Amino acid sequence: IGIDLGTTNSCVSVMDGKTPKVLENAEGARTTPSVVAFTSDGERLVGTPAKRQAVINSANTLHATKRLIGRRYDEPEVQKDMKNVSYKIVRASNGDAWVEAQNKMYSPSQIGAFVLIKMKETAESYLGTTVKNAVVTVPAYFNDSQRQATKDAGQISGLNVLRVINEPTAAALAYGLDKTDDKIIAVFDLGGGTFDISVLEIQKGVFEVKSTSGDTFLGGEDFDNVLLQYIVNEFKREQGVDVNKDPMALQRVREAAEKAKIELSSAIQTDINLPYLTMDNTGPKHLSLKLTRSKLEQLVEHLIKRTIDPCEKAIKDAEVKTSEIKEVLLVGGMTRMPKVQETVQKLFGRVPSKSVNPDEAVAMGAAIQGGVLAGDVTDVLLLDVTPLSLGIETLGGVFTKLINRNTTIPTKKSQVFSTAADGQTQVEIKVHQGEREMAADNKLLGQFSLIGIPPAPRGIPQVEVTFDIDANGIVNVSARDKGTGKEQQIVIQSSGGLSKDEIENMIRKAEENAENDKKKRDMVEVVNQAESIVYDTESKIDEFKSQLPAEECEKLKQLIQTVRDRLANKDNETSESIKKATNELQQSSLKLFEMAYKKVIYDFKL
C-alpha cells in the first residue's frame, strides 16, 4: 500500500492492476484527518472521531504533530509551534520534542504510528487481508532525522516500510504514469504543514528529479494560525474579551478559521458566526464577523511570499529556464487558494495544471512506487535526489561538504582527511546536513569517534570518511584508518531519535492497544446484539401472548431480565458472559415463537 502521512490529512492507496486506487476509510471519506485524541477514560480516537471532539478536549487532541517529527525541543520552529497548539509539547530525556496527553508522553513517531494504523486498517478492510508492506511519503525537504523518525512511525504501527519517497516525486509519478511525451515539469506542493518544490524530467518512464527545495515549516496550519489570531483580536476589540485563555472558545475559533479559509477559495466573502463563544459578567458574548477574500490574502501575503525563494532556488539548481518547464502541478490543499495559484503563475509564467487531485496524488504515487518494488509495475524508474548537502566538521568548525544537495540517490562518496595535532590517536567525526559555511549553523545528525590511530606527526595519518545515502535518503557513515585498516561506522542515529528498545517497547504498546481496542469493539457489538434481541423478544411476546403458555412467557421474561442485569453491569462483565445469556434467550425464544407461529397457521387453516 502507499500512504501519504500528511500534517493535516492522510490518505492510503493501493494498486488495482496497473492503476492506483484511493481507499475510503470507515467514515466513508478518502482522506483521514491526522488527528489523535485521548479521552479521559483511556480511549484513543484517530481521524474524524478525534477531530469532532476537539472542542471539548483540546488539551488531549493532538494535531499537526508531523511538524515535530525528528525535531529537537530547542529548535526555534518547535518553540514557535508551542504558542500555536492546544496541547503540551515537552522535552524528552534525549532532548527531542515530544507531546503530552492525559499525563502521558508520546513521541511524534508514535502519534504518526496511530494514524498509520488507521490507514493500514482502511486498506485491510478493503482488501480483506492483512497488510504488511508499505511505501510512506515524506516532504522532499525533510532531513535525515525526520526521515528516520517517519520510518520509526511505520515500524511502531507494525508496517514494513519498504521505501520512504518524497511527496512531490510521488505526485509526479501519479501524473506521469500514463503519459508518453517527454517533458520537464515542476511540482509545487503546499500542504498542511510543509512546502516542497521539485523540478523533474520525465523521459520514457524515467522520472528524474533535477532539484528540490522547500520549507518544512510552512503550510495550511500557518494560514489558520494567522487567521485565528486576527479573529481573536477583532473579537477582543469589539467585545473587550480575550479568548486566548479559553481553550474551548479558542478551538471553536480555530475550526471556524479553517472553514472560512476553505470557503474563501470559492467565495469572495464569508460570515463567521459563533454564538455563545464566551461569557463575562455582563452575559454571553457572540462572535459575528464578515471576512472577505482580499482581507484573507492581505493577512497571509507574507506566508505566500515565503514560497518564492525556494522556487527560484530549485529552478536555478535544476539548471533549466522557466520557459523549459512545460507543466506545473499543484499538490496539497493550500494550492486551492486563488492567490497561491496566481503566485505560481507569475513565478513560472504559465497557468498551473490541475491534472492531479491535490489531496490524493501523493498517496497514489506511493502506491505506484509500491507496485514498482513488488515487480507489478515494470516501466517506471524513479531517480530522486538528496535535498540537503552532507558533510563533516573540520578544523576551525568549518563545514566540509562531501555530498552536495540535489545529488541523485542512492550515492556514495569518500574523502581522505588527516589529524590536526601531533600524536593524535583518535578522530571525532561530526556529521552535519545543511547549506551554511559553518558546521554549527547546520543540523548535527550524529557523531562518532575513530580510535586507535598510531601516534604520528599531524597530517600523516590518513582517515578515509565514506558517506552512503540509500534510496530512502537515509545516511550511513563510516571512517577507516588507512594505516591500520581500523573501521568505525554508524547509521546516523541523531543524538535524539528513538533507540531500538524504545521502538520495540512502542510496538508492544501499539499491539496491546490493538487488543484492547478489539475487546472494546467486540463488547460494543455484543451489547448491540443483546439489546436488539431483548427488544425483538419482548415485542414477539406481546404479539403472540394469546398463543403462548403463561409459564413459558414467564421463563422468557426471566431470561430477558438476566440479559438486562448483565447489560446494566457491563463494565464488570466479559463479552462472553453477555453473549452466553443472549444466546440462551435467543434459543428459548426461537423454539417458543416457532411453536406459536405453527399454531397461528393451524388456526388460520381451520
Residues designated catalytic: 4, 66, 167, 189
* Cα 94–Cα 95–Cα 100 angle in degrees, nearest 5: 95
- Buried b or exposed e, range 417-456, using 16+ CB within 10 angstroms: bebeeeebeebebbbbbbeeeebeebbbbbbbebeebeeb
Q: Which three cell numbers stand for residue 418?
A: 588527516
Closest CA to 497 of 155, 221, 162, 157: 155
Helix (H, G, I), strand (E, B) or coil at 301: helix
Q: Which three cell numbers stand for residue 499?
A: 533507540
Phi, psi of 419 (to 5 degrees): -80, 160
Q: Is the separation of the CB atoms in 427 and 453 below 8 Å?
A: yes
Reported as half-sphere exposure (CB side, CA atoms, 13 A), residue 52 has a value of: 7
Q: Is the separation of the CB atoms in 406 and 212 below 8 Å?
A: yes
Q: Is the separation of the CB atoms in 321 and 181 below 8 Å?
A: no
| Amino acid symbol at 484 | T
What's the rounded Cα separation, in Å, for the pair 18 and 3? Answer: 17
Cβ count near 581 (within 10 Å):
22
Phi, psi of 461 (to 5 degrees): -60, 145
> In angstroms, what CA-CA distances link 572 with 32, 74, 204, 235?
34, 46, 64, 49
User: Cis before residue 310, ω within 30 degrees of 0?
Assistant: no
Residues 6+ apart with CB under 8 A from 446: 430, 431, 477, 490, 492, 493, 494, 495
Residues 6+ apart with CB under 8 A from 504: none
> In angstroms, what CA-CA distances link 44 with 21, 29, 30, 213, 575?
28, 20, 21, 36, 20
Given the C-alpha cell 505560481, which residue does it identify? 344
Reported as half-sphere exposure (CB side, CA atoms, 13 A), residue 552 has a value of: 17
Closest CA to 67 of 155, 160, 142: 142
What's the rounded Cα separation, in Å, for the pair 8 and 88? Answer: 18
What's the rounded Cα separation, in Å, for the pair 582 and 561? Answer: 11
Cα separation of the two ends of the chain: 65
Instruction: Give the chain's length.
Output: 606
What's the rounded Cα separation, in Å, for the pair 593 and 598? Answer: 8
> In angstroms, what CA-CA distances link 360 with 151, 191, 418?
21, 12, 50
What's the rounded Cα separation, in Å, for the pair 243 and 228? Answer: 11
Q: Is the separation of the CB atoms in 61 and 88 below 8 Å?
A: no
What's the rounded Cα separation, in Å, for the pair 406 and 417? Answer: 24
Closest CA to 439 of 402, 474, 489: 402
